[in-house]
Chain A
Amino acid sequence: MSALGELATLRRKGPKGKVTMAPSERGDNKAAIFFLAPWFVGLGLITIGPMVASLFLSFTDYSLLQPPNWIALENYERMISDVRLHNSLRVTFTYVFVSVPLQLAAALALALFLDRGLRGLALYRSVFYLPSLLGGSVAIAILWRQIFGTNGLINQVLAFFGIQGQGWVSHPDYALGTLMILNVWTFGAPMIIFLAGLRQIPEMYYEAASIDGAGRIRQFMNITIPLLTPIIFFNLVLQVIGAFQAFTQAFVVSGGTGGPADSTMFYTLYLYQRGFTALDMGYASAMAWLLVVIVAGLTAVNFLLSKYWVFYND
């Protein structure tokens, strides 16, 4: 975690910040305890315990039904030769690196479009958010088959052009693709965060730029984007963390199987199967901690890189 310790974004920049901070440092420590009190209690009482417990269990053969036995690194050693685990990593990385950028791009584009200046914005925003409301509803599975199935909407459209489609959602080569589309389709959450972020950009910057004769594109590049970077950064970090844990949609669409032929077997889905179907919670816990290492590593990289492109107002 040393890289995370580098959290560049949290470093106060410039002498001005230091000047204000210095005299009140003592007060800050006190105040921090007050402001963080609920969080500390939650961390100690609810968060840390189960986390440490899962770390402990990752060194055991815990089956849920029987007390755990210490087996040291056996679970971790097994992961080295588990081809299905390797496959699930490949599936998950593909999913993260393709669908997160696409989803964020869609979310940002729509947020800019729906920011203001159009009648019925509230309605449009709601319409574009609606798919995200469905969450992991079982209905999603049915709906997705209605679109990407053999007789689904896509194939009906293709048939109109004389192309014979196939069952996209159930073909090992395309099933993951349809899940990525599903993820992009539910861009509502990052879109809302972008919208809120756009509203935090002070008006005056645009006015000043207009007076300087800057066009809309320049305003966008020089004002909107830089001032939105903290929010873009937030969305990037959280969507990456979230996408690595993608579970519900794959679970629901594949009926919990990760199929066909493991083509939508996300890491967390495989972990769940090991833990709850195969009653191998020790191994599942070990998998969870491998995931933490991977995601924490990527998040640290994200934070390190943010130094170069995220602009803070403070």
Chain B
Amino acid sequence: MTDRDAAGTASSRDRSTSVNAALPPGPQAQAAANQPAGALTVAPVGDGPPRDDRTARPGGRVTPSAWPSRTRSVLKHGALLVAGFVMLYPLLWMLSSSFKPTALIFRDPALIPTEIDLTNYTLGWDALLHPFSHYLMNSFIIVAGAVLGNLVSCSLAAYAFARLNFKGRRVWFAIMLMSIMLPIHVIIVPQYILFSQLGWINTYLPLVVPKLLATDAFFIFLMVQFFRGIPKELDEAARIDGAGHARIFFRIMMPLATPALATTAIFTFIWTWNDFFSQLIFLTNPNMYTVPVALRTFVDSTGESSWGPLFAMSIVSLIPVFLVFLFGQKYLVKGIATTGIK
């Protein structure tokens, strides 16, 4: 069983120790998979040229280049910074507006605020029935349930679609895809009636249980595509060792699909965090309101809106998602290539 253990530990290993583990291709993979863990993941540095060098890094370049790497690096950074500014301009504008009194936001659209005034933050934090942290907490509860649900249920379903040969697979797959083609607006009323019959309205169940039941076909399909990128030889090797599907799933697929799992977790987090419509419809008690629903209550298109507090709280609500992304994205890059399998 060492092979599967190896796979399991490899994914959690830091990239710097395993990045260079290049292993022989194709048919040898099976042999490799049967090697002891150490040999598998922490191959000596000289074993193969580090892939980073294909782009830019002083030292052992594989691909010759006409430009000194430093100049290229500076150019790259310059281009990225300019592009980054364009990407960020609207957000910077929002940040700057969150420091201005509401009345000035539209009269004085300058990007740099004349003074940093935190009133909007204190106002916005306490503007609603509960402090804003209450709504952040509500969102966290739903998001945690949704992330867990999608990770477990979608990966199970994806394994079946990607690796199992069962009857009617194509038809079921087509049905799965079709289920995300109907716009939510015609689904929401029957869904509401259903959840209302179940007594789930005003609980978090309508927002979490569907995720536990793999109704997010997007992520099933996503993981199917990633699972299919994992070399079949690994399963076969494990099968020869007598492993069943459950073992293959837990010991090979899951560790090797870290990028797909990370993608699923991050997207589920962000999309659930931002999901306004279903949270609006299914939660009718203001104590249960989540961040997006709470944010809307700052705006009244027919009367006076609290733009300043809205922007301030929008910034506040962006922080958790941004942090999740910033720290989560390193798992995106822990694929086969870095764990060294194959």
Contact = CB atoms under 8 A, between A and B. Distances in A.
The answer to A–B direct touch (Cβ < 8 A) is yes
Interface of A: 1, 4-7, 10, 12, 17, 20-21, 24-25, 27-29, 31-39, 41-43, 45-47, 49-51, 53-54, 57, 64, 113, 115-120, 122-140, 142-144, 146-147, 151, 153, 185, 189, 192-193, 195-208, 210, 215-216, 219, 227, 230-231, 233-234, 237-238, 241, 244-245, 247-248, 255, 268, 271-272, 275-276, 281, 284-285, 288-289, 291-292, 295-296, 299, 312-314
A312 B23 CA distance: 20
Nearest to A204: B25
A195 B48 contact: no
Contacts of A200: 226, 229-230, 259, 335-337
A47 B55 contact: no
Contact of A255 (B157, B185, B266, B301): B301
B285 to A, nearest CB: 22
Given A127-B87, A231-B226, A299-B181, 7 more contacts: A35-B159, A35-B249, A130-B88, A196-B260, A202-B336, A275-B185, A288-B182
B153 to A, nearest CB: 4
A122 B330 CA distance: 7
B13 interface: no
Interface in B129-167: 152-153, 156-157, 159-161, 164-167
A60 B271 CA distance: 33
Contacts of B187: 50-51, 54
Given A12-B165, A122-B326, A130-B322, A203 B310 contact: no
B218 to A, nearest CB: 6
A238 B221 contact: yes
B52 interface: yes
B89 A147 contact: yes
A142 B308 CA distance: 12
A161 B76 CA distance: 27
Nearest to A29: B166
B122 interface: no
26 contacts: A7-B170, A12-B165, A27-B244, A32-B160, A38-B214, A42-B214, A46-B209, A51-B182, A54-B186, A117-B56, A122-B329, A122-B330, A123-B326, A130-B91, A133-B318, A136-B274, A137-B274, A138-B295, A192-B263, A193-B263, A196-B259, A199-B259, A255-B301, A292-B181, A299-B177, A313-B229
Interface in B182-212: 182-183, 185-187, 189-191, 193-194, 209-210, 212
Contacts of A25: 165
Contacts, number: 349
B164 A35 contact: yes
A137 B170 contact: no
Nearest to A233: B225
B270 A116 contact: no
B45 interface: no
B51 A206 contact: yes
Given A28-B166, A202-B336, A131 B228 contact: no
A203 B84 contact: no
Contacts of B342: 202, 204
A119 to B, nearest CB: 8
A138 B225 contact: no
Nearest to B158: A35
Contacts of B12: none
Nearest to A186: B87
B191 A201 contact: no
B232 A17 contact: yes
A54 B239 CA distance: 45
A296 B178 contact: yes
Given A28-B166, A122-B329, A200-B337, A271 B185 contact: yes
A153 B111 CA distance: 10
B179 A36 contact: no
B176 interface: yes
A210 B160 CA distance: 36
B157 A288 contact: no
B321 interface: yes
B49 interface: yes
Contacts of B161: 10
A106 to B, nearest CB: 10
Contacts of B231: 202, 313-314
